[in-house]
Chains A and B, each alone.
Chain A
Amino acid sequence: MTMLLDVDRVTRTFGSVRAVDGASFSVDEHSITGLIGPNGAGKSTLFGTIAGSLRPNSGRILFSGRRIDRRSAHRVARLGVVRTYQAARVLTRMSVLDNLLLATTRHPGERLTTLATRPRAARAHERQTLERAHEHLALVGLDSHADAYAGTLSGGQRKLLDLARVLMLEPSLVLLDEPMAGVAPALRVQLLDHILALRRDRGITFLIVEHDLDFVMQAADTVVVMNEGRVLVVGAPAEVRTNPDVIDAYLGKAH
């Protein structure tokens, strides 16, 4: 298997706190990798450094062999590394459809210069985006909500909208930050099915931070366990579950 993401001795501090402290692991192409660890283990900070919203103090992050740790978040997103947030960051005062229409790159209509010089190309891209937006709305079952404000959706529906928006960008690596948090049980199954289907049908690679261990064990091929900013163990779900260090650091406290 080829390595898609390589996190290499990444450190990120906030003042005197070493939120991520020399963390290293890699993510294989087409895999689903779970990232777990107790609160404060540095998972969210690490997510931020991969997505480009936080710059590591030291270490390197490579995506498809290219360094991404010095790129700003929007450029990382354009490379195909797209993240979601714990609480789905949908644009509440815009319609559900508008939320999806934003999820496109190289839209000539989004730049004032090309909007003026190539209005036809802008209209064509917009038509195409609209078509894809409706497809993706249907995919997550939100087609009847297209014209509603995204702010009127429930927490679970927002997660689905967020997922649809991410998929519109045709990412190769999706970073999901606690996709199951605050999602009703019925939607959980749906969300898990979506993730598995997307990996199977579109070959998307997932890196998932999640507290719901049952979900991680069900979905992930590989589990990375973090504690106090460091990577404690990397392994298959079954190995990780029985690893004494992990039980000590994480499961031990939880149960």
Chain B
Amino acid sequence: MSVLTSGGFWAFVGVVAGIYTILALGLQVQFGFAGLLNFGQVAFMAIGAYTMAILVVKEGWSTWLAAPLGIAAAAAGGLLLGLPTLRLRADYFAIVTIAFSEIIRYVATNETALTGGSQGTIALGSIGTATQYNGQWSRFQSHVQHSLGLSSSDATMLVLVWATAIVLLTVTWLALRTPWGRVLRAIRDDEDAAESLGKNVFAYKLQALALGAALAGVAGLFYAWEFSFFSPDDFQPLLTFFAWMILLLGGLGRVWAVPVGALVFGFIFAGTRFLDFVPFSWFASDERAYLRLIIIGLIIVVLVMVRPQGLLGNRREMVLE
């Protein structure tokens, strides 16, 4: 149980929660405010991470140019997905988003020349060359570490991720309080009514989808930097559903519910790692990995039963017709 008291471990849990916060914030904009049922959020994370890594390794770009381009590519992916599909009914749109995210993952797996294929970013460069997309980032990180006098790189990453998350949360929160955000909420409530009030519903949905995708792109960048390596397997649909769990835990239509949901989810997810006593110790460690998901699922089911609006959501809003 010594890991429980290790600062590095909890810093790691905090970093992952921060990355999930940014990923789930994108979903909050899309679903919590504009009503778009996106089950393919992980695809935009993959587009952000891969665009940055490919530009740095293959094209020799600076990280500080490649990273914003990664975010832009994720947003462009959102536009590309939205243009032909946003006129579909909500449930059909949801199905298309799952398919889109799997298409992105399969392309990343099979376009070996571009992405390194199933071997991941290790195979990005030509054979025999060390391929690192995070050299510049690591230097930046140690620079920050020394300037702030932090004890470890884990702690530095924690600060950087959460500083970014808090900036993005604040900007999103402010943007959604404007008349623009009001139109999004109107579309979530009744898009026909919004349309008959003269709102270009399609254009607003497209903006929400692209902005949510851009946020997922940011999450993808931090994911890439945190792990120094990634492969298409890192972008399984499961990640999208983790983001959904965070949204349900925190509450819909509330920006600040996202970090709360992500932290609770992160600690439950990490905490279930320590279930190695009876009766859990009866199971082998690989079986316990699945047990964790079952336990997390159970917690969500119980939460939905006793507190359907999530931790910070508004129950009154749920029952109004």
Contact = CB atoms under 8 A, between A and B. Distances in A.
The size class of the interface chain B forms with chain A is 20 to 34
Interface string B196-210: 111111000001000
B190 A91 contact: yes
A243 interface: no
B292 interface: no
B195 interface: yes
Nearest to A126: B179
A74 B187 CA distance: 13
Interface in B276-321: 316-317, 320-321
B197 A165 contact: yes
Contacts of B188: 93
A94 B197 contact: no
Contacts of A64: none
B180 A74 contact: no
Contacts of A51: 196
B6 interface: no
A98 B198 contact: no
A112 to B, nearest CB: 6
B46 interface: no
A101 B179 contact: yes
A103 B204 CA distance: 16
Contact of B197 (A53, A77, A126, A149): A77
A102 B186 contact: yes
Q: By DSSP majority rule, is chain B's interface helix, strand, loop, or mixed? A: helix
Given A74-B201, A92-B189, A102-B186, A115 B196 contact: no
B200 A152 contact: no
A165 B197 CA distance: 8
Contacts, number: 94
A113 B114 CA distance: 35
Contact of A112 (B180, B186, B199, B201): B180
Nearest to A80: B198
Interface string A180-193: 00000000000000
Nearest to B183: A110
Contact of B321 (A53, A105, A151): A151
A27 interface: no
Interface residues of A, number: 35
B199 to A, nearest CB: 6
A120 to B, nearest CB: 13
B111 interface: no
B98 interface: no
B94 to A, nearest CB: 20
A115 B178 contact: yes
Interface stretch (A2-10, A82-90, A217-225): A82-90
A67 interface: no
A102 B196 contact: no
Contact of A94 (B185, B195, B196): B185
**B198, B200, B317: most-surrounded residue (chain A CB, <10 A):** B198
Contact of B320 (A85, A115, A152): A152
Nearest to A129: B179
17 contacts: A53-B192, A74-B200, A75-B198, A77-B196, A77-B197, A77-B198, A78-B198, A85-B196, A89-B190, A91-B194, A92-B189, A92-B320, A93-B185, A110-B179, A110-B199, A115-B180, A152-B320
